[in-house]
Amino acid sequence: MEYRSRPLVVALVFLVAGLAAGSVRAHDHSLATAAQAAGTPAAQAPGSVLFRNVRVFDGRTGRVSAPGDVLVRGNRIERIGAALASEPASRVIDGGGRVLMPGLIDAHWHSMMAAPSLGAILNGDQRYLTAIAAAESTRTLMRGFTSVRDVGGNSFGLKQAVDEGVLPGPRIYASGAMISVTSGHGDFRQASDLPRTMGVPGSTDLEGDTAIADSPDEVRMRVREQLMRGAAQIKLTAGGGVSSPHSPLDAITFTPAELRAAVEAAGNWGTYVTLHAYTAAAVREAVEAGVKVIEHGSLMDDATARLMAQRGIWLSIQPFPVELGNAFPPGSEERAKFEEVFTGNNHAYELARKHKLKTAWGTDVLFSAALATQQGAILASLTRWYTPAEALVMATGTNGELLQLSGKRNPYPGTIGVVEEGALADLLLVDGDPTADISLVARPEQSFKVIMKDGVVYKDTL
């Protein structure tokens, strides 16, 4: 299926599934209530919404304020204060002293690969996979995740469908295809697919989820292809990976010249390269090449973490749940690689804290619809290393700061991940204080009474 056909497929799948009623930007609140009663996410058109009597977690300080009011006009937060005057046309939501916080941001998400099994991705029908991704996108929003940084996969059509209101879903900061070398992380071809002629796409490149590049010139071309499609940032895989069959973890894949070509091509468009790397050697090579964000870093050492701190490099690391390994058969090479990464992760978090690295949070859920439902629980598991308030700041204000690295390639210009005047209105009304009980984010159905994205109310159980 060609890239250009994906938006239509997403729209048709969503309509056939009978979910479109939940995405209607309804002015009539009774219609929204009826839609929720039917079990579909309801959306209220943006206008003027006043949150009355709420305690604000702003996404920056880690503290919860005294009760006050927050006025949203259109898709932005207009005023925060005490006893704000409501307007005749305003919708007033009485928070009853509950906590109003920013929508959650997952900085390492794969919209097209989170829910399907690995076998389905490698062998399944693309229309089936698109249907799964569309449904999972809506579930992601209803878990309170109003933005995701998609770091691998052809999610451009899904993003368009969400942005056009075809279906409810989070903002998607798309990377497009994971760019890999031959035999690297992201190369799922078989030996029968070899040899490849330089400049000719591989058999797995055509869907746009991965892209093979084996020279600086090919890297530039692949980067520019993703930018042409609308990428917010560029994703390369510079070391071995868990799920790819041909890439040992210790391998360094791209050469320095290839990495510099990617950094230059992305930088010419005002955006950046984020790079998959586990080992210290792969991370150091990337830092020297000008890469701004390292994904994972689970096997790095103290000297490498110190170098990242000195250069101001971001670490986007994930608190991998042990269940993630269940996607790979016991005794398999992939399972062994996962266990090595899982074991190293604790040390990487300790290094991040020791050197005060700019640290983002994400899940990297792959191939598991069941694990995708645990998105909030994975966030809550950060309390192995951070306080609840620190973890929540990381998943809101800090991740929002990371998203700003896209510069003019940012598909959603504006301040995000915080509750402050002028910021984009992505808000959650929580029944309880998540800084005291972070497990609330693991129970979104009960805990999140109101979910707003871009000034639109998608859930209101009050």
pLDDT of residue 194: 84
pLDDT of residue 41: 53
Q: Residue 400 — pLDDT band, cuts 50, 70, 90?
A: very high
User: Reduced to 3 DSSP states, what percent helix, strand and coil does the chain have, rounded to the nearest 5?
Assistant: 40, 20, 40
% pLDDT > 70, the chain:
90
Burial of 195 (0-12, 13-18, 19+ CB in 10 A): exposed
Regarding predicted confidence, which is higher, 438 or 336? 438
Closest by alpha carbon to 171, among 413, 380, 443? Answer: 413
Buried b or exposed e, range 298-316, using 16+ CB within 10 angstroms:
bbbbeebbebbbeeebbbb
Place of tokens 């899940």: 363
Closest by alpha carbon to 36, among 162, 172, 131, 168? Answer: 168
pLDDT of residue 36: 47
pLDDT, mean over the chain: 89
Amino acid identity for residue 420 in this structure? E
Domains for the chain: give ranges and CATH numbers.
21-102+418-460 (2.30.40.10), 104-409 (3.20.20.140)
**Regarding beta strands 91-94 and 48-56, do their DSSP bridges make them parallel or antiparallel, or are they unpaired?**
parallel
Q: Which two three-digit tokens encode residue 170?
A: 């989070």
When mean pLDDT is compared across 19-28, 112-121, 256-265, the lowest value belongs to: 19-28
Distance from CA of residue 91 to its chain's centroid?
Answer: 30
Q: Note the pTM of the prediction, 2 decimals.
A: 0.90
Q: Residue 322 — pLDDT band, cuts 50, 70, 90?
A: confident
According to DSSP, the residues that pair with 237 across neighbouring strands are 276
Distance from CA of residue 336 to its chain's centroid?
Answer: 26
Helix 302-311 vs helix 280-289: crossing angle, to nearest 10: 20
**Regarding beta strands 104-109 and 427-430, do their DSSP bridges make them parallel or antiparallel, or are they unpaired?**
unpaired
Read off the pLDDT of residues 412-428 as tens digits, 9 standing for 90 and up: 999 999 999 999 999 99
Place of tokens 């069941």: 370
Q: Residue 202 — pLDDT band, cuts 50, 70, 90?
A: confident
Q: Which two three-digit tokens encode residue 433?
A: 């204080």
